[in-house]
Each structure stands twice: as structure tokens, then as C-alpha cells.
Amino acid sequence: MADKLIKPHGSDTLNPLYVADDAERAKLLKEAQTLPSIVICSQAAANAVMLGAGYFNPLKGYMGLQESLKVAEKMETNNGLFWPVPIVNVVKDASSIKGAKRIALKDPNVAGNPVIAIQNVQAIEEATEEQMKFMAEKVFGTLDEKHPGVANWMSAGRTFISGPIQVLNYSYFATDFPETFRTAPQIRELIQKHGWKKVVAFQTRNPMHRAHEELVKMAMKETGADGAVIHMLLGKLKKGDIPADVRDMAIRKMVEHYFPPNSVEVTGYGFDMLYAGPREALLHAVFRQNMGATTLITGRDHAGVGSYYGPFDAQTIFDKIPKDALKIGIYRGDNTVWCNKCKAIVMVRNCSHTNEDYLMLSGTKVREMLSRGEAPPPEFSRPEVAKILADYYQSDRAKE
């Protein structure tokens, strides 16, 4: 049955780096206590989770400096595999592991910094400021440190620790989001269990309003998909973004009320947002292929932030990569809005009406309404979803 699903990226079978055997994992955790150790940055920990969960198949661990430069510039690994973003373990100070061939990586995001992975060290290399900037410019398209991705990249350190890893846990994602966090093999199993042949994946770091709901329905209809995986980011976001647990509740409520039974799986993955726009859209496609989706919905300003990218840059970048780079298809979404004349949610490119006919609400305006306890118009947000969000915006958590 497994061979019926789309092939993973770069290999015939999925190779998650999580050590699934309990006895083997216990042995490695014991060994980790005897190894030189280092607390890694949040992005490196998220990379470990993605490697462990099979999303970054077929990578075996963290890239070295030269490979990172090559991936940033040419979007390919040392062995010629298409890959859009360097996957690295970068630290400020590696003196605690100097000369070590095998090290324990400690999780910065969990109390007590437990070991998240063991790494075989191939090299410890120092990047220059110029090399860090070169990679930032290629990946993020800017060097502006107001860009949250650039700020994270430039502040994490310049020492690259490369080599294969064995992942021992999924950080806080599996414990904080037990109903939502799923690995790539688990999502493949869900797809098989449903018997879905064509599957669209929807990426989100926000709650879903009616426009998003319709976008998923349009994509399913136009691609002939019999299932959708709503796949939400569970990791770190920028200030002001809605926490994952609130978003999760809101999305589940929408699916329960407005999608046919057994047509949608609500799941999540453990990664910190890069806000890398086009490059991140490519990475999204890679790991959605690994989890078994046949189409990725790329929306307007997909994975963007501020006005760093054009509204459709994350779609046109797919026209610039080699034809055989990915097996997954791309569904290109336009701005999706309520049209007062059509009395429906429409994709702007398919509608002959004008901006005056559309209900346009900015995120800021919606947040203001919700924080006053007002529901946005039903054309914009389902009432059940609006209630969950209004409760959050009026709570003390939203003011922190």
C-alpha cells in the first residue's frame, strides 16, 4: 500500500532520524550523560525535530559551512539534491565541545535543557560575517535586521557544527500538542487510513478565516483531491502572532462545522517560522511531499512578513527551479475575499468586480474588533471561530 503514496523527496523511502526503538533510545540517553554537551539555539532544535520527524528527508543531519553556502546560493546540497534553505546547527561558542567527535545537543526550549539529539561531529567551522550576510541575503532576500528571520540568523552565532544526528525526542511539541503534532510517517499513515489518493496541504501560522476555508475548498475541488491536511506551525513566532493552542482550537472548530466528515486532518509540525517568503515556500513543498501530500496550496505572500516580498514571489519561485526538483504540485491561490455582488467568497482573479465590492479587513482591524469582544462580519469569520479568538484577545494572555 505504501508505494501508492507520492515518493518522499530524494529517496524511495522515508528516513526519519528519530530513534524509535525504546531500548536503543534509553542506551543513547545514558551515553549522552557522558558526552561533551552544548545548548543549541531554538532554530537548530527545531531543525532536529524536523529531521527526527522525517520532514527533512533525506538529510542525515546538519550541513557544514561550504554546503550551507552552496544551498544558499544554488539551492542544492553537495550531492546535487534540490534543497532551498541551509539546515544548520550554529552556535556562538563551541569551546565546551572542542575536539569532541560525538556530542550531546541540549534543548534550549525545555526546562532543564534535556538532550534532544546526539551528533557525530564532522567539522566545527567559523563563518565570516560576510558569509553569514551572503547566506541571509540569498535566503531572506534582505539584510534588514528588522526582518525577524534575518535577526534570528545573524544573532545565533557563526560557528557551524556539522554532522549526522540521532534524535531522542520531539522537544516540547509532542508534549504540549499531543493531539496535533504529527510526524511525516504518521501523516502518511493517516492519508492511507482515509484511502485518500490526492491530498492538498494547507500551511498556516494563523487562525483560518472564511477566505482560508474557501481557499482549501477551491484547491480540493480544482485538483480533484479527496482529502486535505491543514498543517500548522507549532514553533516560535513573532510577537503579536496568535499562540498555537488558540489557533488549533479555532481551526478544529471550523473543520468540525464547515467541512464534510473525514475530508480534513488538522495536524501540526515542530518548527520555528523563518519568514523567508519564497525560499520558505520551497521548503514547505519539500516537507509536504515528505508527509505524503500531492499538492501544496501557496497563498498570497506565503510565509512572508511585512512588505519584504511581492504578493506572488512565493509562487513564481517554483517556475525558477528545475522541473524535476519536486514531485509535489503547487496550487496557486490569489487574494480570496467576500464579494458583495457575488454574495460569496471569491478568488479575485476569477471575479469581474472591483475592490469597492469586496469586504477588505486588515489584520489590525480584526484584532481591534476581537479585543473589544466584537465579532467580525460573518462574511469574514465564522461565528464559532470568532468567539474563540475574541475570548483570547480579551484574556490576560493577549496583553502579555
227-260 pLDDT, tens digit each = 999 999 999 877 778 889 999 999 999 999 999 9
279 is catalytic: no
Altogether, the residues listed in the chain come to a count of 400
Expressed as residue numbers, the domain containing 76 is: 2-174
The residue from 124, 146, 174 where one domain ends is 174
129-140 and 65-74 helices, crossing angle to 10°: 30
**Which of 15, 113, 120, 206 is an active site residue?**
206
What is the structure's pLDDT at 1?
36
Q: Are residues 264 and 365 in the same domain?
A: yes
Q: Are residues 162 and 224 in the same domain?
A: no
Hey, is 226 helix, strand or coil? coil
The pLDDT of residue 103 is: 98
Q: In terms of domains, do 285 and 318 share one? A: yes
How many structural domains comprise the chain?
A: 2
Instruction: Indicate if 135 and 14 belong to the same structural domain.
Output: yes
Query: Is the entire prediction scored with pTM above 0.85?
Result: yes
The candidate with the shortest Cα–Cα distance to 223, out of 278, 294, 272, 161, is 294
Residue 47 appears among annotated catalytic residues: no
| 203 & 343 share domain | yes
Specify the pLDDT at position 256: 97
- Among 158, 205, 252, 367, the one annotated catalytic: 205
Q: What is the pLDDT of residue 335?
A: 87
What is the β-pairing status of strands 61-62 and 159-167?
A: antiparallel
pLDDT level of residue 2 (50, 70, 90 thresholds): very low
Residue 177 C-alpha cell reads as: 500538542
Please check whether residues 125 and 159 belong to one and the same domain.
yes
Asked if residue 355 and residue 231 are part of one domain, the reply reads: yes
Judgement on whether residues 92 and 10 belong to the same structural domain of the protein:
yes
